[in-house]
Structure 1
Amino acid sequence: MTSVPAIETRFFAFESDFVDSLRCIPMIVRYKLDTCRVKLQLSDWAKFNYDEKDLLAEMPCHTDLEIEIYTDYLNELVWKYTNTAPSLLKNLDPAWVNAHVPAEVHERTQEWNCPVISASQWTQLNVLERFALVKLSRSGHEGRNFPRALAEFGLATAC
């Protein structure tokens, strides 16, 4: 049986510029997408109505059954709007579950001249916070949210 850490639905303050409309995929949904190993295109997300997006944020996705239900619902939505199935993630590297700060997060703190995150600070963050920092440190993400996330998580006052 698979089980990922149960986390409450939470929207971060650094996501505040889009959470009201859900025009972008919030971290809580991205976490659940990774749990299901589904790669959802932003263009597909944009086709969902607000209630569908909100339900994807609120639905549990922790146990095998919840993951299956979540994946089925997501597949139904994508099919409804695109007549295609979403693609699957080939490799899932859940660096956020490790006890050490991932290299990509360390590199991003250096790029922004932010304080180094210690292993102790890293392990004190919850899974969703660690997930967010890993995702924000990867290429293709708006860099401005990385220092905002560090400040929100109490890891830096200003970078």
Structure 2
Amino acid sequence: MTAPGPFFQFEADFVLGLRCIPMSVRRKLDDCGVKLKLEHWHRLAESERQWLVDQPCESDRERQAYREQLRTWTQRDWGEPAKDLPIDPQPAWLRPEIPEAVQTACHVLQIHLNPADWQALDPLQRFALIKLARPGHEHRNLYPALQEFGLADRSPESPPDV
């Protein structure tokens, strides 16, 4: 499994023009504690969206700068800053155990995900699977993500029938 660039292959249909929030940005939002709605994203200039993709958000200082810039832009565009999200000091994508929602979603797709598979994924890949496996979320990109990460048979075009 190779480390992903800023976008995953399963995001290819909506990354062009940055019309949807890519997983790499969604993780940064969770890491810095900002709730950015899709309508906020659409109001940003493409250069601002690209900045959010490119800007590092690893250190406390970088997360604070990212957060402040987002709040400035949403204040400008909406008259109020984006809402705060609680920051989990030990998010599920950094834990060694597979989240139950991911296990359940994989089971429905008839994919056995074991702890070694989970631990071999990088944090962004784990984050993506967690987001794609959430209950009530449309799971159409989950199987392509599992394929991309080497966790499902790459030959079928669609998930197995259940």
Aligned partner of 2:137 among 141, 146, 157:
141
Give the whole-Å Cα distance in 2 for the aligned partners of 1:91 and 1:35: 6
- Runs of 4+ in structure 1 off by over 3 angstroms are 90-93
Q: What residue number does 2:108 align with?
A: 111
Q: TM-score, normalised to structure 1's length?
A: 0.89
Report whether the alignment pairs 1:99 with 2:96: yes
How far residue 90 of structure 1 moved from its aligned partner, in angstroms, is: 3.5
Give the count of matched residue pairs.
Answer: 152
Give the whole-Å Cα distance in 2 for the aligned partners of 1:74 and 1:9: 22
Is the CA contact (8 Å cut-off) linking 2:97 and 2:115 kept in structure 1?
A: yes
How far residue 112 of structure 1 moved from its aligned partner, in angstroms, is: 2.3
How far residue 89 of structure 1 moved from its aligned partner, in angstroms, is: 1.4
Identity %, equivalent residues: 39
Instruction: Give the aligned CA root-mean-square deviation in angstroms.
Output: 1.6
Q: TM-score, normalised to structure 2's length?
A: 0.88
1:144-155 to 2 correspondences below 5 Å: 144-155=140-151
Give the whole-Å Cα distance in 2 for the aligned partners of 1:133 and 1:59: 22
Is the CA contact (8 Å cut-off) linking 2:10 and 2:144 kept in structure 1?
A: yes
Greater shift, 43-52 or 87-96, is seen at 87-96
Give the whole-Å Cα distance in 2 for the aligned partners of 1:146 and 1:136: 5
How far residue 140 of structure 1 moved from its aligned partner, in angstroms, is: 4.5
Q: What residue number does 1:24 align with?
A: 20
Letter in 1 for 2:118: W
Three-state SS of the structure 1 residue aligned to 2:18 is: coil
Q: What residue number does 2:70 align with?
A: 74
Give the whole-Å Cα distance in 2 for the aligned partners of 1:87 and 1:101: 29
Give the whole-Å Cα distance in 1 for the aligned partners of 2:21 and 2:70: 13
Letter in 2 for 1:98: R
Q: What residue number does 1:59 align with?
A: 55
Is the CA contact (8 Å cut-off) linking 1:15 and 1:26 kept in structure 2?
A: yes
Is the CA contact (8 Å cut-off) linking 2:27 and 2:124 kept in structure 1?
A: yes
Letter in 2 for 1:72: E
Aligned partner of 1:11 among 7, 17, 23:
7
Three-state SS of the structure 2 residue aligned to 1:20 is: helix
